[in-house]
């Protein structure tokens, strides 16, 4: 996962840098040259969507997403772990069926369409959804395996405590 994290960090950093330059260029051509650039608005829109669809799995993999723990902070370790595993299974389900399968369907439906300003295939625009879904599945499986290891550790420590109590 460290390699995937590093690749995403570099890619997302490059996307942000290109977006900053593109935004600067758009403002410069619009207000200084009085002739706005025709491609930067579309480029920035596509880059923002790609950044979002790849930034979500990146933040998820680093456990940096916002979470509300008002209810779960009162759970014991086993209850909290069961809740986390349930959430992971739900995220895995949504990633596979909505992002990968649904995103692939939308991407294939856009086949043959060309973007208006950049004249690029629209498949490149929509492909970010299944790509992000695949990355979510990788991160989700990694997190789920970690939770399962933790579950086994709790179960074995519970067995030891039960044996010592007799």
Domain residue ranges in the chain: 2-165
Query: 160 Cβ partners below 8 Å, 6+ apart?
Result: none
Query: 70 Cβ partners below 8 Å, 6+ apart?
Result: none
Give CA torsion, residues 104, 108, 114, 120, to 10 deg: 50
Q: Give the pTM.
A: 0.84
Task: Find the DSSP H helices in 62-127.
Answer: 77-94, 103-109, 122-126
pLDDT at 157: 75
Q: Report which secondary-structure segment, H or E, holds 42.
A: helix 40-61
Residue with tokens 């991160």: 139
Q: Average pLDDT for consecutive 10-residue bins of the chain (166 residues)?
A: 91 96 94 90 94 94 77 82 91 96 95 91 94 96 93 76 51
Residue with tokens 């008002």: 70
pLDDT at 163: 54
98 with 137: CB under 8 angstroms?
A: no
pLDDT, tens digit, for every residue of 110-145?
999 999 989 999 999 999 999 999 999 999 999 999
């Amino acid at each position: 996962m460290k390699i995937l994290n590093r690749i995403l960090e570099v890619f997302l950093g490059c996307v942000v840098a290109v977006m900053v330059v593109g935004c600067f260029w758009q403002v410069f051509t619009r207000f200084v040259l009085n002739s706005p650039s025709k491609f930067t608005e579309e480029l920035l829109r596509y880059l923002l969507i790609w950044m979002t669809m790849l930034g979500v799995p990146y933040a998820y993999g680093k456990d940096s997403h916002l979470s509300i723990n008002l209810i779960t902070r009162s759970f014991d370790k086993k209850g909290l772990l069961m809740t986390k595993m349930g959430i992971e299974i739900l995220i895995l389900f949504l990633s596979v069926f909505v992002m990968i399968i649904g995103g692939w369907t939308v991407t294939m439906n856009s086949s043959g369409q060309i973007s208006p300003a950049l004249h690029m295939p629209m498949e490149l625009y929509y492909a970010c959804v299944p790509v992000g879904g695949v990355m979510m599945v990788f991160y989700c499986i990694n997190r789920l395996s970690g939770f399962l290891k933790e579950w086994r550790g709790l179960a074995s420590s519970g067995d030891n405590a039960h044996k010592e109590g007799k």
